[in-house]
Amino acid sequence: MAVIEIENIARHFHVGNETIKALKKIDISIKKNEFVALMGQSGSGKSTLMNILGCLDTPTNGKYHLADKNVSLLNDNSLAEIRNKEIGFVFQSFNLLPKSTALENVMLPLIYSGFDKKERRQKALVALEKVNLSDRVNHRPNELSGGQRQRVAVARALVNNPSIILADEPTGNLDSATSEEIMALFQNIHKNGNTIIIVTHEEDIAQYAHRIIRLKDGEIESDKVNKSPKQ
């Protein structure tokens, strides 16, 4: 069953009198519990595609079905609602609130989901336990290492039980040893049933995925199964 289905997706930007075709008629189907890497150099269109997949932007043309909903037709409020429910985001720069504890950062998405404070705290504690940070719940970001901060970000992405984890260059600010730890964490999350999409330009990070989609000049250059993903 496909959790993501995009058909003839195009995204154009107008700069002065010029039209920039960031994406040109992209077709992708991603099934539940797939582990996919989106690869491409700067200007390939991967960031534009990520923004559309994450319901952060809408396509110029084409259809996007996410969990059986045609999100390419939704307004901003509806997009925000489906983002919070269906997608967990992990960013290169962690995007944590500096004055809030790890627990408070993880609780944040639950505020918009209607849970009371006790439920938010319990769910956040469970998410932090999943990323092995039960002993850091009251630490603020400046009291955590880069790897621990990214683990908090992953816990925050998991806390709403989303169908998809969308990670944008999740190891970009980490050293190689810490990057391996974070990718091992994503592997465990995948084994527990989540669909994972990682956007990266790093070949060694892409090799953890079970499928690698390469973009070039706004088009799919290749879409191949990775027969021997890194363990």
Residue 186 pLDDT class (50, 70, 90 cuts):
very high
Q: How would DSSP label each residue in 67-123?
A: TTEEGGG--HHHHHHHHHHHEEEEETT----TTS-HHHHHHHHHHTTT--HHHHHHH
Q: What number is the average pLDDT over the span 9-21? A: 91
| Residue of 83 and 142 predicted with greater confidence | 142
Superfamily of domain 35-59+74-225: P-loop containing nucleotide triphosphate hydrolases (3.40.50.300)
CB distance 199 to 177 below 8 Å: no
- What is the chain's mean pLDDT, rounded? 92
CB distance 144 to 132 below 8 Å: no
Residue 36 pLDDT class (50, 70, 90 cuts):
very high
Mutual angle of helices 146-158 and 117-130, in 10-degree steps: 130
Q: What number is the average pLDDT over the span 157-167? A: 92
Q: What is the pLDDT of residue 141?
A: 96
* Coil vs helix vs strand at 15: strand
Q: What is the pLDDT of residue 131?
A: 93
Q: What is the pLDDT of residue 101?
A: 97
Residue 78 pLDDT class (50, 70, 90 cuts):
confident
Pairing of strands 2-15, 69-70: unpaired
Least confident piece of the model among 69-78, 196-205, 207-216, 222-231:
69-78
Q: What is the pLDDT of residue 198?
A: 96
% of the chain beyond a pLDDT of 90: 74
Q: What number is the average pLDDT over the span 148-152? A: 94
pTM assigned to the model? 0.92
Residues 85-139 pLDDT 10s: 889 999 888 899 999 999 999 999 998 778 899 999 999 999 999 999 999 999 9
Q: What number is the average pLDDT over the span 41-55? A: 91
Q: What number is the average pLDDT over the span 206-222? A: 96
Dihedral sign of CA atoms 85, 95, 120, 178 in order: positive
Q: What is the pLDDT of residue 92?
A: 86
Residue 67 pLDDT class (50, 70, 90 cuts):
confident
Q: Please list the alpha-helical segments (H only) found in the chain.
A: 46-53, 76-86, 102-111, 117-130, 146-158, 176-191, 203-206
